[in-house]
Amino acid sequence: MKFNKKAKLVTVVSSLLLAASFQAGAATSILASSNIVNLTGGTGTATFQKINGASWVSESMGYLGWTHFSKWGFVTLSKGKPVTIVADATAIAGFHPGITVWQRKSSTPLPTALPVAAASGVNPTATQAIFYMNDHFYDQASSISVLNATDETSGVKVGSINMEYVASGFDMDGLGDKFTLDTTSGMLRPYNATTDATAAVYGPYLPMGFATTGLANSQKLSDAASATGVTPVVAAKTPGRIALTFTPKVTGIYQFVVGGLKPDVGSAAAANAGKGTGNVHSVNVTITQN
């Protein structure tokens, strides 16, 4: 009898493991919001269009990234040579850019131009499959591994999505905002020195989970301003610029996301931030590998 129970347990566990190995993760195409950056002489540039002011992390989405409103870059990099990615949003009042880089595990090389989308109901080719992300939300400081991914819309097979986290950083200019609790909703809201003088104060603002991860790569106003030759004005909230530097461990495809991090209250970048029809902006991106 004991033998039979053990045999049944092994059978059940084996069945569960086998079923798990065939489980499919939901994947969404990011082809329409992607850029391929080709390095010429060690440098490549691109303009990332329609970036939402709250897309790199969003308070309303639990401080996760959002594939719908983030913009993606793909580039082939060489092992051991330092790389710098600059996202310059200084032309947008109140915009704070963030960048995360992953190494995309793929035996298929990156094309020199974006491929056309697969026909409806047709499995994407290996090249087309590179331009898929799992689900709609992602952690900016974690590796991503999805087996047997399927297109959430058509259900066709996409394959595995494997991305190793490399580095992240965000623009800290003006992110010393103070918050207090709203007595009606119980949610955090911006602190008002006049009306909230006796209220509990929280801050400065940092996105959840980034107290250590990515913080060393993030820039304060003096860092960003000196890089552009502008005299730092620490008291002012200014548009953002982030320069993220890392050294690739392997030669291959690197995928990075550029988005907005909590725009300044009342600024142009804050108008409808986080909404599908919200204010969207163009951000200049430069990649250099010498």
Tens digit of each residue's pLDDT (9 = 90 or more) over 99-152: 999 999 999 999 999 999 999 889 999 999 999 999 888 888 889 999 999 999
- 213: closest CA among 255, 169, 254? 169
Predicted TM-score (pTM) of the model is: 0.78
State the number of CA atoms in the 13 A half-sphere of 101 facing the CB: 27
**Helices marked H in the chain:** 2-21, 126-129, 221-227
22-54 residue pLDDT tens: 445 889 999 999 999 999 999 999 999 988 888
Separation CA 6–CA 12 (nearest Å): 10
Average pLDDT over residues 231-237: 39
The residue extents of the domains of the chain are: 24-174+208-289
pLDDT averaged over every residue in the chain: 79
- Match domain 24-174+208-289 to its CATH number in 3.20.20.70, 2.130.10.10, 2.60.120.1220, 3.40.190.10: 2.60.120.1220
Separation CA 242–CA 271 (nearest Å): 22
